[in-house]
Amino acid sequence: MKRRIGILTSGGDCPGLNATIRGAAKACYQLFGTDDVEIIGINDGYSGLINNECKEMKPSDFSGILTRGGTIFGTKRTPYKKMLVIEEDNVDKVKAMKDTYKKQKLDCLLTLGGNGTHKTANLLSQEGLNVIGLPKTIDNDIYGTSVTFGFHTAVDIATDVIDRLHSTADSHDRIMVVEIMGNKAGLLTLYSGIAGGADMIVLPEIPFDIDKLAEACEKRAKNGKAFSILAVAEGAFDTEEAKLKKKERARLRAERGETTASNRIAKEIQAKTGMETRVCVPGHMLRGGSPSAYDRVLATKFGVRAAQLIKEEKFGYTVAMVKENVTENKLIDIAGKPKLVPDDHQLILTARDMGISFGD
Protein backbone atom coordinates (compact mmCIF):
# COMPACT_ATOMS: atom_id res chain seq x y z
CA MET A 1 0.00 0.00 0.00
CA LYS A 2 1.49 3.33 -1.07
CA ARG A 3 1.23 6.08 1.53
CA ARG A 4 1.17 9.81 0.77
CA ILE A 5 2.43 11.89 3.66
CA GLY A 6 2.22 15.68 3.78
CA ILE A 7 4.69 17.75 5.81
CA LEU A 8 4.44 21.44 6.69
CA THR A 9 6.27 23.84 8.98
CA SER A 10 4.29 26.68 10.54
CA GLY A 11 4.98 29.70 12.76
CA GLY A 12 8.42 31.09 13.50
CA ASP A 13 11.41 29.24 12.10
CA CYS A 14 14.08 27.72 14.33
CA PRO A 15 17.14 25.49 14.12
CA GLY A 16 16.16 21.83 13.88
CA LEU A 17 13.18 22.01 11.51
CA ASN A 18 15.10 20.51 8.61
CA ALA A 19 16.71 17.90 10.87
CA THR A 20 13.21 16.82 11.96
CA ILE A 21 11.91 16.74 8.39
CA ARG A 22 14.92 14.64 7.41
CA GLY A 23 14.43 12.23 10.32
CA ALA A 24 10.76 11.73 9.50
CA ALA A 25 11.37 11.30 5.76
CA LYS A 26 14.27 8.88 6.07
CA ALA A 27 12.39 6.80 8.65
CA CYS A 28 9.31 6.68 6.38
CA TYR A 29 11.38 5.47 3.46
CA GLN A 30 12.98 2.84 5.69
CA LEU A 31 9.77 1.66 7.39
CA PHE A 32 7.52 1.58 4.30
CA GLY A 33 10.00 1.19 1.47
CA THR A 34 11.07 3.94 -0.91
CA ASP A 35 8.65 2.79 -3.58
CA ASP A 36 5.71 2.63 -1.17
CA VAL A 37 5.77 6.14 0.27
CA GLU A 38 5.38 9.56 -1.32
CA ILE A 39 6.19 12.66 0.69
CA ILE A 40 4.42 15.89 -0.20
CA GLY A 41 6.09 19.12 0.88
CA ILE A 42 3.62 21.90 1.67
CA ASN A 43 4.94 25.43 1.21
CA ASP A 44 4.61 28.17 3.84
CA GLY A 45 2.74 26.28 6.54
CA TYR A 46 -1.03 26.28 6.75
CA SER A 47 -1.12 29.00 4.10
CA GLY A 48 0.19 26.44 1.62
CA LEU A 49 -2.34 23.88 2.81
CA ILE A 50 -5.13 26.40 2.32
CA ASN A 51 -3.94 27.33 -1.17
CA ASN A 52 -2.80 23.86 -2.26
CA GLU A 53 0.83 24.90 -2.70
CA CYS A 54 2.36 21.45 -2.63
CA LYS A 55 5.15 19.53 -4.32
CA GLU A 56 6.17 15.90 -4.49
CA MET A 57 9.56 15.29 -2.91
CA LYS A 58 12.32 12.88 -3.85
CA PRO A 59 14.51 10.99 -1.34
CA SER A 60 17.47 13.07 -2.48
CA ASP A 61 15.64 16.24 -1.38
CA PHE A 62 16.20 15.22 2.24
CA SER A 63 19.96 14.75 1.95
CA GLY A 64 22.32 17.41 3.24
CA ILE A 65 19.74 19.23 5.37
CA LEU A 66 20.63 17.90 8.84
CA THR A 67 22.80 20.93 9.61
CA ARG A 68 20.80 23.47 7.64
CA GLY A 69 18.90 26.16 9.54
CA GLY A 70 15.42 27.39 8.67
CA THR A 71 13.04 25.14 6.75
CA ILE A 72 13.16 23.81 3.20
CA PHE A 73 9.38 24.19 2.97
CA GLY A 74 9.20 27.81 4.10
CA THR A 75 6.93 28.98 6.89
CA LYS A 76 4.29 31.58 7.68
CA ARG A 77 2.28 32.56 10.70
CA THR A 78 -1.40 31.80 10.14
CA PRO A 79 -3.03 32.67 13.49
CA TYR A 80 -5.37 30.06 14.89
CA LYS A 81 -7.90 32.71 15.88
CA LYS A 82 -8.40 33.47 12.18
CA MET A 83 -8.81 29.86 11.08
CA LEU A 84 -12.56 29.85 11.74
CA VAL A 85 -13.07 33.39 10.42
CA ILE A 86 -14.02 34.00 6.79
CA GLU A 87 -12.31 37.25 5.83
CA GLU A 88 -12.56 39.55 2.81
CA ASP A 89 -11.21 36.87 0.45
CA ASN A 90 -14.27 34.73 1.31
CA VAL A 91 -12.09 31.67 1.87
CA ASP A 92 -13.32 29.05 4.32
CA LYS A 93 -9.85 28.10 5.58
CA VAL A 94 -10.82 24.88 7.30
CA LYS A 95 -12.72 23.64 4.25
CA ALA A 96 -9.83 24.68 1.99
CA MET A 97 -7.31 22.74 4.10
CA LYS A 98 -9.52 19.65 4.06
CA ASP A 99 -9.96 19.99 0.31
CA THR A 100 -6.19 20.17 -0.25
CA TYR A 101 -5.71 17.10 1.95
CA LYS A 102 -8.18 15.22 -0.26
CA LYS A 103 -6.87 16.60 -3.57
CA GLN A 104 -3.35 15.55 -2.65
CA LYS A 105 -4.72 12.15 -1.58
CA LEU A 106 -2.85 12.39 1.71
CA ASP A 107 -2.95 9.55 4.20
CA CYS A 108 -1.38 11.67 6.94
CA LEU A 109 -0.22 15.21 7.66
CA LEU A 110 2.82 16.07 9.78
CA THR A 111 2.74 19.57 11.28
CA LEU A 112 5.92 21.04 12.74
CA GLY A 113 5.33 24.07 14.93
CA GLY A 114 4.55 25.71 18.25
CA ASN A 115 1.39 26.36 20.24
CA GLY A 116 -0.62 27.97 17.43
CA THR A 117 0.40 25.24 15.02
CA HIS A 118 -0.73 22.58 17.49
CA LYS A 119 -4.11 24.25 17.99
CA THR A 120 -4.75 24.17 14.26
CA ALA A 121 -3.42 20.61 14.07
CA ASN A 122 -5.92 19.60 16.73
CA LEU A 123 -8.68 21.40 14.83
CA LEU A 124 -7.87 19.43 11.67
CA SER A 125 -7.68 16.23 13.68
CA GLN A 126 -11.16 16.92 15.08
CA GLU A 127 -12.30 17.49 11.49
CA GLY A 128 -11.32 13.93 10.66
CA LEU A 129 -7.85 14.32 9.12
CA ASN A 130 -4.95 12.07 10.14
CA VAL A 131 -2.59 14.51 11.81
CA ILE A 132 0.63 14.11 13.81
CA GLY A 133 2.32 17.10 15.45
CA LEU A 134 5.98 17.76 16.17
CA PRO A 135 6.86 20.33 18.89
CA LYS A 136 9.05 23.18 17.67
CA THR A 137 9.82 26.44 19.45
CA ILE A 138 12.82 28.28 20.85
CA ASP A 139 10.63 29.19 23.85
CA ASN A 140 10.18 25.55 24.97
CA ASP A 141 6.63 26.47 25.98
CA ILE A 142 4.62 23.53 24.62
CA TYR A 143 2.69 21.69 27.29
CA GLY A 144 3.41 18.01 27.84
CA THR A 145 6.98 17.84 26.56
CA SER A 146 10.08 18.54 28.62
CA VAL A 147 11.87 20.00 25.60
CA THR A 148 11.19 21.21 22.06
CA PHE A 149 13.68 21.16 19.22
CA GLY A 150 15.20 24.58 18.64
CA PHE A 151 15.32 25.47 22.33
CA HIS A 152 18.83 24.27 23.16
CA THR A 153 20.34 25.93 20.08
CA ALA A 154 18.67 29.22 20.99
CA VAL A 155 19.98 28.90 24.55
CA ASP A 156 23.49 28.42 23.15
CA ILE A 157 23.18 31.51 20.95
CA ALA A 158 21.67 33.69 23.69
CA THR A 159 24.34 32.53 26.12
CA ASP A 160 27.05 33.51 23.64
CA VAL A 161 25.48 36.98 23.34
CA ILE A 162 25.49 37.43 27.12
CA ASP A 163 29.06 36.10 27.33
CA ARG A 164 30.23 38.74 24.87
CA LEU A 165 28.50 41.53 26.76
CA HIS A 166 30.49 40.87 29.92
CA SER A 167 33.78 42.22 28.62
CA THR A 168 32.37 45.41 27.12
CA ALA A 169 30.17 46.04 30.18
CA ASP A 170 33.17 45.56 32.47
CA SER A 171 35.40 47.78 30.34
CA HIS A 172 32.96 50.72 30.44
CA ASP A 173 31.31 50.14 33.85
CA ARG A 174 27.96 49.86 32.13
CA ILE A 175 24.62 48.24 32.85
CA MET A 176 23.79 46.02 29.87
CA VAL A 177 20.16 45.06 29.27
CA VAL A 178 19.93 42.16 26.81
CA GLU A 179 16.47 41.36 25.47
CA ILE A 180 15.85 37.68 24.84
CA MET A 181 12.93 36.32 22.82
CA GLY A 182 10.05 34.91 24.86
CA ASN A 183 6.68 36.64 24.89
CA LYS A 184 4.73 34.56 27.39
CA ALA A 185 7.26 32.04 28.67
CA GLY A 186 10.67 32.88 30.09
CA LEU A 187 12.48 29.55 29.90
CA LEU A 188 14.89 30.73 27.18
CA THR A 189 15.80 33.81 29.22
CA LEU A 190 16.09 31.78 32.42
CA TYR A 191 18.42 29.16 30.97
CA SER A 192 20.60 31.55 28.98
CA GLY A 193 20.65 34.06 31.83
CA ILE A 194 22.08 31.50 34.22
CA ALA A 195 24.41 29.98 31.62
CA GLY A 196 25.68 33.43 30.63
CA GLY A 197 26.19 34.66 34.18
CA ALA A 198 23.53 37.37 34.15
CA ASP A 199 23.18 39.29 37.41
CA MET A 200 19.44 39.90 37.02
CA ILE A 201 16.86 37.86 35.11
CA VAL A 202 13.48 39.34 34.23
CA LEU A 203 10.73 36.96 33.16
CA PRO A 204 7.09 37.34 32.02
CA GLU A 205 6.05 35.02 34.85
CA ILE A 206 7.57 37.27 37.55
CA PRO A 207 6.49 40.94 37.24
CA PHE A 208 9.40 43.21 38.10
CA ASP A 209 9.74 46.21 40.36
CA ILE A 210 12.11 48.68 38.71
CA ASP A 211 13.30 49.90 42.11
CA LYS A 212 14.38 46.35 43.00
CA LEU A 213 16.38 46.08 39.79
CA ALA A 214 18.03 49.46 40.39
CA GLU A 215 18.84 48.44 43.97
CA ALA A 216 20.46 45.22 42.72
CA CYS A 217 22.67 47.23 40.34
CA GLU A 218 23.67 49.63 43.12
CA LYS A 219 24.42 46.77 45.49
CA ARG A 220 26.82 45.26 42.98
CA ALA A 221 28.51 48.64 42.50
CA LYS A 222 28.98 49.01 46.26
CA ASN A 223 30.56 45.57 46.30
CA GLY A 224 33.12 46.67 43.72
CA LYS A 225 31.33 45.39 40.64
CA ALA A 226 30.62 48.50 38.60
CA PHE A 227 28.82 46.70 35.79
CA SER A 228 25.73 44.49 35.64
CA ILE A 229 24.06 42.26 33.06
CA LEU A 230 20.26 42.04 32.92
CA ALA A 231 18.70 39.26 30.85
CA VAL A 232 15.17 40.45 30.05
CA ALA A 233 12.50 38.40 28.29
CA GLU A 234 10.71 40.39 25.60
CA GLY A 235 7.36 39.67 27.26
CA ALA A 236 8.37 40.93 30.72
CA PHE A 237 6.19 43.53 32.44
CA ASP A 238 6.32 45.40 35.74
CA THR A 239 4.16 45.05 38.83
CA GLU A 240 1.87 47.92 37.79
CA GLU A 241 1.36 46.46 34.31
CA ALA A 242 0.58 43.12 35.96
CA LYS A 243 -2.61 44.68 37.33
CA LEU A 244 -3.82 45.46 33.80
CA LYS A 245 -5.43 43.25 31.20
CA LYS A 246 -3.39 42.35 28.12
CA LYS A 247 -5.17 44.87 25.87
CA GLU A 248 -4.74 47.63 28.46
CA ARG A 249 -1.02 46.89 28.71
CA ALA A 250 -0.72 46.99 24.93
CA ARG A 251 -2.55 50.33 24.78
CA LEU A 252 -0.35 51.81 27.50
CA ARG A 253 2.80 50.70 25.73
CA ALA A 254 1.56 52.06 22.42
CA GLU A 255 1.05 55.44 24.09
CA ARG A 256 4.64 55.27 25.38
CA GLY A 257 5.96 54.20 21.98
CA GLU A 258 7.09 50.85 23.41
CA THR A 259 6.85 47.31 22.17
CA THR A 260 8.81 45.73 25.04
CA ALA A 261 9.96 46.92 28.46
CA SER A 262 13.71 46.65 27.80
CA ASN A 263 14.40 50.26 26.83
CA ARG A 264 12.25 51.56 29.68
CA ILE A 265 14.13 49.33 32.14
CA ALA A 266 17.47 50.68 30.91
CA LYS A 267 16.30 54.30 30.95
CA GLU A 268 14.85 54.11 34.45
CA ILE A 269 17.84 52.27 35.91
CA GLN A 270 20.14 54.94 34.53
CA ALA A 271 17.90 57.68 35.96
CA LYS A 272 17.74 56.02 39.39
CA THR A 273 21.39 54.98 39.70
CA GLY A 274 23.29 57.43 37.50
CA MET A 275 25.01 54.42 35.90
CA GLU A 276 25.35 54.31 32.12
CA THR A 277 23.08 51.74 30.47
CA ARG A 278 22.88 50.12 27.06
CA VAL A 279 20.33 47.80 25.44
CA CYS A 280 21.21 44.84 23.21
CA VAL A 281 18.51 43.01 21.21
CA PRO A 282 19.87 39.92 19.38
CA GLY A 283 16.33 39.28 18.09
CA HIS A 284 16.03 36.89 15.18
CA MET A 285 19.66 35.83 15.46
CA LEU A 286 18.35 33.46 18.15
CA ARG A 287 16.27 31.69 15.48
CA GLY A 288 18.93 31.40 12.81
CA GLY A 289 21.84 29.20 11.92
CA SER A 290 22.66 25.54 12.23
CA PRO A 291 21.11 23.45 15.03
CA SER A 292 23.33 22.33 17.90
CA ALA A 293 24.40 18.70 18.23
CA TYR A 294 21.76 18.23 20.93
CA ASP A 295 18.98 19.58 18.71
CA ARG A 296 20.13 17.51 15.72
CA VAL A 297 19.81 14.36 17.80
CA LEU A 298 16.51 15.43 19.39
CA ALA A 299 15.00 16.47 16.05
CA THR A 300 16.04 13.17 14.47
CA LYS A 301 14.48 11.19 17.31
CA PHE A 302 11.27 13.21 17.09
CA GLY A 303 11.08 12.78 13.31
CA VAL A 304 11.60 9.03 13.56
CA ARG A 305 8.91 8.74 16.24
CA ALA A 306 6.48 10.56 13.94
CA ALA A 307 7.17 7.98 11.23
CA GLN A 308 6.60 5.18 13.74
CA LEU A 309 3.25 6.72 14.68
CA ILE A 310 2.26 6.72 11.02
CA LYS A 311 3.11 3.01 10.79
CA GLU A 312 1.11 2.37 13.96
CA GLU A 313 -1.76 4.45 12.50
CA LYS A 314 -1.76 6.43 15.71
CA PHE A 315 -3.11 9.81 14.63
CA GLY A 316 -4.28 12.84 16.59
CA TYR A 317 -1.05 12.86 18.61
CA THR A 318 2.04 15.04 18.93
CA VAL A 319 5.52 13.74 19.65
CA ALA A 320 6.99 14.60 23.05
CA MET A 321 9.91 14.02 25.39
CA VAL A 322 8.80 12.85 28.82
CA LYS A 323 11.34 11.81 31.46
CA GLU A 324 14.08 11.40 28.83
CA ASN A 325 11.87 9.12 26.73
CA VAL A 326 10.46 10.03 23.32
CA THR A 327 6.72 9.42 23.45
CA GLU A 328 3.53 11.21 22.39
CA ASN A 329 0.58 13.16 23.76
CA LYS A 330 -2.93 13.50 22.40
CA LEU A 331 -3.30 16.76 20.49
CA ILE A 332 -6.58 17.48 22.24
CA ASP A 333 -4.83 17.27 25.62
CA ILE A 334 -2.03 19.75 24.88
CA ALA A 335 -3.39 22.18 22.27
CA GLY A 336 -3.79 25.68 23.68
CA LYS A 337 -2.02 24.90 26.97
CA PRO A 338 1.21 26.91 27.22
CA LYS A 339 4.00 25.75 29.51
CA LEU A 340 5.16 28.60 31.74
CA VAL A 341 7.91 28.89 34.35
CA PRO A 342 6.50 28.05 37.81
CA ASP A 343 7.65 29.99 40.86
CA ASP A 344 9.27 26.86 42.29
CA HIS A 345 11.14 25.90 39.11
CA GLN A 346 14.46 24.41 40.15
CA LEU A 347 16.44 26.96 38.14
CA ILE A 348 14.52 29.82 39.78
CA LEU A 349 15.48 28.47 43.21
CA THR A 350 19.05 27.85 42.05
CA ALA A 351 19.36 31.42 40.77
CA ARG A 352 17.91 32.95 43.92
CA ASP A 353 20.34 30.98 46.10
CA MET A 354 23.17 32.44 44.01
CA GLY A 355 21.94 35.97 44.61
CA ILE A 356 20.50 36.55 41.15
CA SER A 357 17.68 39.09 41.32
CA PHE A 358 14.37 38.63 39.49
CA GLY A 359 13.30 42.16 40.36
CA ASP A 360 10.53 40.99 42.66
Backbone CA torsion sign across 187, 178, 282, 237: positive
Q: Do 116 and 65 lie in a common domain?
A: yes
| pLDDT surpasses 90 at 325 | yes
Give me the domain span that covers residue 84: 3-149+291-334
Let me know whether 265 and 295 are in one domain. no
Q: Is residue 341 part of a domain?
A: no
Confidence of residue 338 (pLDDT cuts 50, 70, 90): confident
Domain of 137, CATH number, reads: 3.40.50.450
Percentage of the chain exceeding pLDDT 90: 87
Residues 32 and 101 in one domain: yes
352 located within any domain: no
Same domain for 26 and 140, yes or no, is: yes
The Cβ of residue 293 has, within 10 Å, a number of other Cβ atoms equal to 12
162 in the same domain as 115: no
Averaged over 4-29, what is the pLDDT? 96
**Residue 272 is assigned to a structural domain of this protein:** yes
Q: Are 242 and 165 contained in the same domain?
A: yes
pLDDT at 149: 95
- For residue range 258-317, list pLDDT tens digits in order: 888 999 999 999 999 999 999 999 999 999 999 999 999 999 999 999 999 999 999 999
Is 139 an annotated catalytic residue? Answer: yes
Q: What does pTM read for this prediction?
A: 0.93
Residue 344 to residues 116, 179, 191, 340, 351, Cα–Cα distance (Å): 27, 23, 15, 11, 11
Residue 1: the pLDDT is 78
The answer to whether residue 325 is domain-embedded is yes
On whether the CB atoms of residues 316 and 332 are closer than 8 A, the answer is yes
pLDDT at 52 over 90: yes
Percent of the chain having pLDDT more than 70?
100
Q: pLDDT tier at 252 (50, 70, 90 boundaries)?
A: confident
> For 206, phi and psi rounded to 5 degrees?
-125, 95
Residues 307 and 266 in one domain: no
Average pLDDT, the chain: 95
Indicate if 222 and 327 belong to the same structural domain: no
Count: domains in the chain: 2
Q: Is residue 343 part of a domain?
A: no
Judge if 187 and 264 occupy the same domain. yes
Q: Is the pLDDT of residue 257 over 90?
A: no
| Lowest pLDDT segment from 54-63, 75-84, 129-138 | 75-84
Given 271, 287, 303, which residue is the final one in a domain? 287
Q: Which candidate in 139, 156, 238, 295 is catalytic?
A: 139
Tell me the C-alpha distance between 141 and 144, whole Å. Answer: 9
Point out the domain boundary residue: 287, 304, 322.
287
Per-residue pLDDT of 157-194, as tens digits, reads 999 999 999 999 989 989 999 999 999 999 999 999 99
What distance in Å separates the CA atoms of residue 123 and residue 95, rounded to the nearest whole number?
Answer: 12
Is residue 161 located within the same domain as residue 268?
Answer: yes
Give a yes or no: residue 42 inside a domain: yes
Within a domain: 30: yes
Q: Are 295 and 274 part of one and the same domain?
A: no
Decide: 174 and 214 in contact? Cβ < 8 Å: no
HSE of 109 in the Cβ direction (CA atoms, 13 Å)?
33
**For residue 282, what is the domain's CATH number?**
3.40.50.460
Whether 166 is covered by a domain: the verdict is yes
Nearest Cα to 201, choosing from 225, 230, 226?
Answer: 230
Are residues 10 and 55 both part of a single domain? yes
